[in-house]
A and B are shown apart, each in its own frame.
Chain A
Amino acid sequence: MSALLDSLATGFGDVAGADAARRAALDEALRDGLPQARSEAWKYTPLRALERRSFAPAAIAPAAFDPALLAGIPSPRMVFVNGRFDPGNSDLSTLPPTARLLTLPQALADPDPRAANFMQRRYARGDEVFARLNAALASDGAVLRLADNARLAQPLHLVFVGVPAAGGDIAWHLRHLVELRRGAEATVVEHHLGGGDHANLGNTLVHVHLAAGALLRHLRRQGESPRATLVARTDAVLARDAQYHRLDLEFGASLSRHELNVRLEGEGAMLVANGVQLGRGRRHVDTRLGIEHIAGNTACDLTWRGIAAGRSRTVFHGGITIRPGADGSDASLSNKNLLLSDQAEVDSQPVLEIHADEVKAAHGATVGQLDPTAMFYLRSRGLPEADAQRLLTVAFCREALGVVDDDAVRAMLSGLLDDALLALEDDA
């Protein structure tokens, strides 16, 4: 038995409305333990160090933090601090009435059992330990539902702030739902921010349900404190002609693992999922994509860029499965990595499984250094070496930002990218 699981299990008593199903999820997690080195899904992200740590359950009341962190994040915004909804710092006044946004406890308290039906999901595999823990322990979250053809004019910002807790490192578990009915359209931006030096563990599970013709733009900006651990999983299901556009910026935390599982279940469904993984210091960044083409004429377009500096390790697994019958599908995956230090490590693993006919599939993964000819060109014009390196690194990453079509949002993310790469020079 691990210190980690024992400590997390003590939080079960605090979970409001814990039922037999939740108890079962916890028991399964405790029974199977943490994935070991032989687990394929965790091969490049050893959990031995995490296994020995213990975390206290998060306090019931949201912790205080410096509200300056929220500068530049407009309404509508929903703020969670150390895993607890913080109504004082949230502002949902600009949310239109066609959008129904609840906290997880509100959804669970709803007399209509369908309000929290996503909580019924079970996790069969032993290596889905964090999803099981989340199923057992999640006590808060955002539940967003958009009616048929409803449109969110303004992006909804979900802000997650991690702050130091008085009694030592804490663990929190959040579970969210974004459900867009037929033809609905929305932009959701996740901000994961560090509000001080802490080494907390955050465990997030997001369900995305897109009905026919719905469009979700989903941006996730991960800039947690340098000692934080984040484990996130997003499970998305797309019906006919639904579109899911997504960008992940992995800039922070000590250990950050994100699993993105997308099922393209309806004809013509399309996923565009881009991302930037920024490894610096001793950071470990692991992204695992599991894309399944289930219906015909579905498409995915995945553009990921990785930077590995210092003694960091970036792990990228791009799994694409084209199921039998998903004829006419189009899958494209590009993962390019820049290795900026000989003590850093990049593990890139594109895995394409094709069981259908008439399929277009392309994938490429590279690990390289900055182009010396381009470096010389920039320096010969007067740019100091560090500036030339940063300019080329930003350009290398910028391609991934192409998925963002809102100018204001792209400008904000572009600025964050510049800042994150500027910080890279502190390591050099």
Chain B
Amino acid sequence: MLKIDNLHVRINGRDILKGLSLDVKPGEVHAIMGPNGAGKSTLGNVLAGRDGYEVTAGSVLLDGRDLLARAPEQRAADGVFLAFQYPVEIPGVNNTYFLRSALNAQRKARGEPELDSMQFLKRVREKLAVLHLDDRLLQRGVNEGFSGGEKKRNEIFQLAVLEPRLAILDETDSGLDIDALKSVADGVNALRSPERAFLVITHYQRLLDYIRPDVVHVLADGRIAESGGPELALELEAHGYAWLKDRVAPAAVAP
């Protein structure tokens, strides 16, 4: 479904991704781990289409189509969803109104009929029940005055309502206590399906105790340094990234 080949990305003249390749099939959960500064968030932002990232080489295909040529809203309609590391507060824009507009814009772009407010509300109620999210938050401005945990859960709630095919979670675990982490993981697990793939970007192994990945990748110095099963995450937890750096150093400096 998602095929990244030899991706090179530069920000402000600095090379961040230096030949990243990745192949994700429908239904799979891939974890991307790595030390700070390895380029994890860059990967999420480039896939979602954020400005300011210069792709200098490589390609990204989603279902065989060039993803990088698409505008952010087109990517959303194609089925890409990025759960932000720092969800944005937008006072004055009602959460529910925003989400319904977004969903209907996606549906319109895909040539599907838009949902009326009754249909939309029905979908919202279903998803709220799964996520144990207080529905009063929905009447507020987007993320306005939300706690850190509420913001992250709101991201997962949006994910649930928008039903993307490729969900990218950018450090969704950061800043969460263990209860909030479990609740976010429960939400994600409830959304796993044979058609939907997840890219779970995280610094810590902790989240992967609750969201079991099929594949774990270690991102170091702008490329995938190592890939393996869930046991790779445990090794990282035990030995830290320094251990990995020693192990992959020869490959990382190769041209």
Residues of A within 8 A of B241 (CB): none
Cα(A392)–Cα(B92), bound, Å: 8
Residues of A within 8 A of B84 (CB): 377
Is A392 within 8 A of B93, CB to CB?
yes
Is B102 within 8 A of A383, CB to CB?
yes
Known: A382-B76, A391-B93, A395-B141. A377 touches B105 (CB 8 A): no
Is A398 within 8 A of B92, CB to CB?
yes
Cα(A108)–Cα(B87), bound, Å: 62
Residues of B within 8 A of A385 (CB): 71, 73
Q: Output the nearest chain B residue to A373 by Cβ-Cβ distance.
A: B88
- Which listed segment binds A: B28-36, B44-52, B218-226? B44-52
Q: Which of A372, A373, A377, A387: most chain B CB closer than 10 A?
A: A377
Q: Is A120 an interface residue (CB 8 A)?
A: no
Residues of chain B from 73 to 132 with CB closer than 8 A to chain A in the complex:
73, 75-77, 81-82, 84, 87-88, 90-93, 98-99, 101-103, 105-106, 109
Is A382 within 8 A of B103, CB to CB?
yes
Count residues of A near B (Cβ-Cβ below 8 Å): 23
B61 to chain A, nearest CB (A): 19
Is A379 within 8 A of B73, CB to CB?
yes
Residues of B within 8 A of A374 (CB): 88, 90
Is B162 within 8 A of A382, CB to CB?
yes
Is B82 within 8 A of A395, CB to CB?
no
Count residues of B near A (Cβ-Cβ below 8 Å): 31
Q: Is A384 an interface residue (CB 8 A)?
A: yes
**Chain A contact residues: helix, strand, loop or mixed:** helix
Is A381 within 8 A of B162, CB to CB?
yes
Q: Is A394 an interface residue (CB 8 A)?
A: yes
A417 to chain B, nearest CB (A): 11
B31 to chain A, nearest CB (A): 21
Q: Output the nearest chain A residue to B45 by Cβ-Cβ distance.
A: A376
Contact pick for B98, options A372, A376, A378, A399, CB 8 Å: A378
Is B51 within 8 A of A372, CB to CB?
yes
Q: Is B72 an interface residue (CB 8 A)?
A: yes
Is A391 within 8 A of B98, CB to CB?
yes
Residues of B within 8 A of A117 (CB): none
Residues of A within 8 A of B202 (CB): none
Is A399 within 8 A of B87, CB to CB?
no
Q: Is A118 an interface residue (CB 8 A)?
A: no
The chain B residues found within 8 Å of chain A, CB to CB, are 48-51, 71-73, 75-77, 81-82, 84, 87-88, 90-93, 98-99, 101-103, 105-106, 109, 141-142, 158, 162
| 30 pairs, A vs B, C-beta closer than 8 Å | A372-B51, A374-B88, A377-B142, A378-B98, A378-B102, A379-B72, A379-B73, A380-B49, A380-B50, A380-B72, A380-B73, A380-B82, A381-B162, A382-B77, A382-B103, A382-B109, A383-B73, A383-B98, A383-B101, A384-B73, A384-B105, A387-B105, A388-B73, A391-B93, A391-B101, A392-B93, A394-B92, A395-B91, A395-B93, A396-B92
